């Protein structure tokens, strides 16, 4: 989404109806959207802005630093023409959560003109229910924003234009053009307006290096008031009545929507024509425990949580002395702590998009995926979540696709595939470690040698090497006496560190209260406790 009007309304002024905005000295008795014959007067400029606000229908064209953009704003959809994407107002599948008949959903248009509704329009956890919430022109006419003819004067840059330095109007127009930060950083100081055959033109005014007014490289046009539309979008959305298809059945989700489940999620990264599996997560739970096994290319980790005696969340683990211990991870009730498919699978939020295929149109996709991964997926920026049914009509697979990013290596995307649904499996029992036969005998001589080196005053030297560049990054000498450990660290000259510092000296010494640390200040050649 390009803009967030909520930020505007929260920080500047409250959103209200357009109907109350024109003051008595500029009230218009006409709502004719044909403005080509209107002269450029303050009254007419206000009338055009008010008209676009009231009708909630217009086309916006604007150019910033040589790049041009077109948006079509209607009551039912907002379309970013260049991006072939937008927002549409559809029947709300989440009426039980938010008592709203309609809600906004993102859509995309492919090269063949096919329209795909991808997900609910949500930003920072806030769902949107109408296009007006994202239309900055709706602020014109609010009770706290009244335009007057006296807000306009003759432009000094264009004899056919009127100039306004009204701060709220400047912010609205800059917000429409995606450059609102320039209005709040004292880069823009006003807007020129003029009416022509093509509509209401506007251009932003700034100061040059000599403190003279000049035009900033940003301008726009408001046109087609009351008649703006995109034919293909109008036809498609009208054909489906701005409604989704049928929802998935309770029977279809019954193999997943339960309080005891095993599932496996794999995360794949796709770039251009190649792909690679990044990781997998196995989630195994009942009403009394949660087991998560995470596997990456370099490691596997297990986490097991249990319901404690007071319903708290308890973790069992193997400590450094080879003993199995328990600790309370959270005082929160175990049932509240554990998010399961039973909690997040709501059939009405999954709507049919193809044979045996349903899409999630709820407001909280991250919560849905959390039940199957037990970790956040917000960083993936999920675009769609689809459910595929097997021949028996039950959920076979859940596929989540991130937003596609373009790069020099082709399109990049993350894909999360959740499958292997079944009853919960037996827990992997945490066991104490058993010594491997023969290893102790082989290691003892090496440890004895290290111990001798440390206690004899000869010291030990450790070297750290960059495994990717095969470069020696640093070398540290350790020196031991009975009560003191001194480290002498020397960084090496490498590709990433061409000018390494000289030696760094630090260490620890024994006191009556235990160990204390110090470093050596090379400038003053003194020992400094830390």
- What tens digit of pLDDT does each residue of 351-386 get? 999 999 999 999 999 999 999 999 999 988 999 999
Q: Is the pLDDT of residue 482 over 50?
A: yes
- Give the separation between CA 134 and CA 176, rounded to whole angstroms: 10
Rounded average pLDDT over 494-518: 79
Contact 315, 325 (CB under 8 A): no
* Tokens read off for 39: 């002269």
* Tokens read off for 300: 């596997």
Residue 234 DSSP SS3: helix
End-to-end CA distance of the chain: 50
- 113-117-122-123 Cα dihedral, nearest 10 degrees: -20
Measured over the CA atoms of residue 230, residue 235, residue 240 and residue 241, the dihedral's sign is positive
Contact residues for 255 (Cβ-Cβ < 8 A; gap 6+) = 394, 395, 421
312-332 residue pLDDT tens: 999 988 888 888 888 999 999
DSSP secondary structure string, 156-218?
SS-TT-EEE--HHHHHHHHHHTT-HHHHHTTS--EEEEEEETTEEEEEEEEE-TTS-EEEEEE
Rounded average pLDDT over 188-207: 97
pLDDT of residue 75: 97
- Give the separation between CA 136 and CA 62, rounded to whole angstroms: 14
Contact residues for 10 (Cβ-Cβ < 8 A; gap 6+) = none
- Give the separation between CA 98 and CA 209, rounded to whole angstroms: 52
- Burial track 172-197 (b if 16+ CB lie within 10 A, e otherwise): bbbbbbbbbebbeeeebbbbbbbbee
Query: Regarding beta strands 526-529 and 514-521, do their DSSP bridges make them parallel or antiparallel, or are they unpaired?
Result: antiparallel
pLDDT of residue 453: 63
* Segments making up each domain of the chain, as ranges: 5-223, 250-422, 439-529
381-423 residue pLDDT tens: 999 999 999 999 999 999 999 998 877 767 889 999 999 999 9
* Tokens read off for 133: 């919430």
Helix locations, 438-481, DSSP H? 439-455
- Burial track 481-498 (b if 16+ CB lie within 10 A, e otherwise): eeeebbbbbebeeeeeee
Contact 412, 269 (CB under 8 A): yes
Q: Is the pLDDT of residue 471 over 60?
A: no
- Give the separation between CA 385 and CA 365, rounded to whole angstroms: 8
pLDDT of residue 460: 65
């Amino acid at each position: 989404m390009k803009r967030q009007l909520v930020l505007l309304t929260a920080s500047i002024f409250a959103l209200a109806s357009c109907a109350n905005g024109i003051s008595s000295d500029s009230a218009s008795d006409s709502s004719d959207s044909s403005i080509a014959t209107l002269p450029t007067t303050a009254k007419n400029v206000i009338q055009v802005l008010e008209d676009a606000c009231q009708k909630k229908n217009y086309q916006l064209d604007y150019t910033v630093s040589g790049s041009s953009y077109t948006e079509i704003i209607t009551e039912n959809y907002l379309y970013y023409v260049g991006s072939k994407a937008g927002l549409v107002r559809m029947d709300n599948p989440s009426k039980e959560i938010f008592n709203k008949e309609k809600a906004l959903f993102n859509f995309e248009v492919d090269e063949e003109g096919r329209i795909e509704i991808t997900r609910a329009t949500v930003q920072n956890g806030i769902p949107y229910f109408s296009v007006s919430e994202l239309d900055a022109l709706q602020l014109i006419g609010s009770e706290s924003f009244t335009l007057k003819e006296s807000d306009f004067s003759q432009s000094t840059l264009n004899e056919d234009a009127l100039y306004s330095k009204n701060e709220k109007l400047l912010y609205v127009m800059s917000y429409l053009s995606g450059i609102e930060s320039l209005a709040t950083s004292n880069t823009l100081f006003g807007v020129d307006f003029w009416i022509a055959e093509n509509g209401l033109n506007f251009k932003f005014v700034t100061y040059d290096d000599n403190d003279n007014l000049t035009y900033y490289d940003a301008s726009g046009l408001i046109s087609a008031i009351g008649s703006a539309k995109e034919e293909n979008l109008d036809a498609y959305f009208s054909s489906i009545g701005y409604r989704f298809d049928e929802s998935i059945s309770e029977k279809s989700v019954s193999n997943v929507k339960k309080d005891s489940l095993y599932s496996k999620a794999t995360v794949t990264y796709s770039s251009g024509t190649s792909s690679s599996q990044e990781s997998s997560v196995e989630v195994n739970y009942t009403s009394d425990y949660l087991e998560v096994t995470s596997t990456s290319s370099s490691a596997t980790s297990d986490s097991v949580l249990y319901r404690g005696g007071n319903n708290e969340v308890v973790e069992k683990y193997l400590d450094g002395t080879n003993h199995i211990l328990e600790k309370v991870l959270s005082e929160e009730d175990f049932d509240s702590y554990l998010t399961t498919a039973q909690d997040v699978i709501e059939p009405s939020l999954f709507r049919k998009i193809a044979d045996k295929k349903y899409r999630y149109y709820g407001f909280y996709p991250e919560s849905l995926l959390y039940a199957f991964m037990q970790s956040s997926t917000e960083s993936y920026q999920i675009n769609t979540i689809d459910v595929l049914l097997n021949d028996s009509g039950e959920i076979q697979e859940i596929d989540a696709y991130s937003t596609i990013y373009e790069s020099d290596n082709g399109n990049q995307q993350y894909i999360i595939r959740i499958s292997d649904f079944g009853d919960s499996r037996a827990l992997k029992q945490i066991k104490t470690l058993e010594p491997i036969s023969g290893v102790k005998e082989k290691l003892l001589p090496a440890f004895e040698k290290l111990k001798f080196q440390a206690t004899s005053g000869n010291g030990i030297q450790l070297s750290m090497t960059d495994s990717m560049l095969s470069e020696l990054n640093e070398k540290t000498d350790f020196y031991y006496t009975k009560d003191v450990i001194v480290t002498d660290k020397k960084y090496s000259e490498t590709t990433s560190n061409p000018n390494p510092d000289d030696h760094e000296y630090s260490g620890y010494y024994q006191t009556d209260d235990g160990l204390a640390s110090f470093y050596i200040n090379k400038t003053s050649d003194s020992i400094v406790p830390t």
